């Protein structure tokens, strides 16, 4: 599907703002933001991924550009540097840019007007703006979701993560620009990460179906619990820019479904172990 069909800002040629959020920390928001943004860029869309985790930035590490950070989001907001100076162009993918967060300031420095102006500026230049939200429901998380057109709600198959997602879904429906201006609501999508189908099969992990039923929002797909994620983060390469791997493939499916393609779901059942791998204990 073309971007014109996808974008809620249809006709204006403005970027679609997508927040990656969860409430709970450590569920895979930053991993997802990086892989999703890089995946959109790989599909030909000019994409910027913005780190809203002020004070605890990590996206730069996952994207492998930590040594290229000079100016950040807060410098731009407070007029200490221009957007052009702060945007980092990815070295591997021409369509991909990163706007890092500040390491030193705290979240209170994220002003509403400042974020609004930066987003508005980015909307003129990109097709997609992916906002990596910090955990929690405080200022940073609220700023990351406020201007969103769509949201990826990242959830682990674990009870506290599901409840936090439920709270965040409520906030997306009430505490965003779209809610306050009575526009079409933020389009929310469920992304389940760190999924282990073999544990689901044994009955000791919530299934994707269970989580969909509890949260009752459209489902984009699962990302399996995968060793590739740590290897990718060690190297500073989003999983969708690495050599082919299961997490990267799962994220590409999620990107393609987000873009409107109908794809059968994968990674919902555990791969059968072959005889050889059973003997040698490989995975």
Partner 1 sequence: MSLFSFFRRKEPTSASIAKERLQIIVAHGGRRPSSPEFLPQLQKDILEVVRKYIPVGEDQINLSLDRKDDCEVLELNIAIPDQTVKPPPRTRF
Residues 137 and 178: their CA atoms lie apart, in Å, by 18
30 binds Mg ion (CB under 5 A): yes
Choose the one of Mg ion, ligand ADP, partner 1, none that binds residue 247, judging by a C-beta under 5 to 8 angstroms depending on kind.
ligand ADP
Q: Report the side by side order of strands in the sheet with 187-195.
A: 88-89, 96-99, 47-51, 128-132, 16-21, 150-155, 187-195, 219-224
Smallest distance from Mg ion to CB 220, Å: 19
What 3-state DSSP class applies to 66?
helix
Number of other residues whose CB lies within 10 A of the CB of residue 112: 12
Name the residue nearer to partner 1 (CB basis): 173 or 263: 173
- Asked whether the beta carbons of 127 and 259 are under 8 A apart, the reply is no
Cα angle: 135, vertex 136, 138; to 5 degrees:
120
- What residue ranges bind ligand ADP (CB under 6 A)? 22, 25-31, 58, 135, 193-194, 223, 225-226, 229-230, 233, 247
Stretches 30-38, 111-119, 152-160, 271-279: which one binds Mg ion (CB under 5 A)?
Answer: 30-38
Name the residue nearer to ligand ADP (CB basis): 16 or 30: 30
Binding mask 215-254 for partner 1 (x = CB under 8 A): xx--------------------------------------
Residues 164 and 183: their CA atoms lie apart, in Å, by 25
Binding-site ranges for Mg ion (CB under 5 A): 29-30
Binding-site ranges for partner 1 (CB under 8 A): 159, 162-163, 166-167, 169-170, 200, 202-207, 210, 213-216
């Amino acid at each position: 599907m073309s971007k014109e069909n996808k974008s809620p800002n249809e006709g204006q040629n403005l970027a679609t703002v997508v927040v990656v959020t969860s409430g709970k920390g450590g569920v895979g928001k930053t991993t997802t933001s990086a892989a999703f943004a890089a995946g959109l860029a790989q599909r030909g869309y000019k994409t910027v991924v913005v780190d809203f985790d002020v004070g605890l930035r990590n996206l730069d590490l996952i994207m492998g550009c930590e040594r290229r950070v000079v100016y950040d989001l807060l410098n731009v907001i407070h007029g200490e540097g221009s957007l052009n100076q702060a945007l980092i162009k990815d070295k591997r993918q021409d369509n991909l840019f990163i706007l890092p967060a500040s390491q030193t300031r705290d979240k209170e420095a994220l002003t509403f007007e400042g974020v609004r102006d930066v987003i508005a500026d980015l909307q003129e230049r990109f097709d997609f703006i992916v906002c990596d939200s910090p955990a929690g429901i405080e200022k940073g998380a609220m700023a990351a979701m406020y201007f969103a057109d769509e949201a990826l709600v990242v959830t682990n198959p674990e009870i506290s993560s599901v409840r936090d997602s439920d709270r965040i879904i409520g906030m997306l429906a009430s505490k965003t620009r779209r809610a306050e201006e009575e526009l079409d609501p933020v389009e929310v999508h469920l992304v389940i990460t760190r999924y282990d189908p073999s544990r689901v099969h044994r009955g000791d992990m919530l299934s994707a179906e269970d989580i969909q039923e509890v949260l009752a929002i459209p489902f984009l797909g699962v990302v399996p619990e995968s060793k590739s994620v740590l290897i990718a983060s060690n190297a500073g390469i989003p999983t969708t820019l690495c050599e082919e791997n299961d997490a990267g493939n799962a994220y590409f499916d999620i990107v393609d479904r987000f873009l409107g393609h109908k794809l059968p779901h994968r990674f919902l059942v555990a791969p059968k172990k072959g005889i050889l791998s059973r003997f040698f204990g490989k995975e």
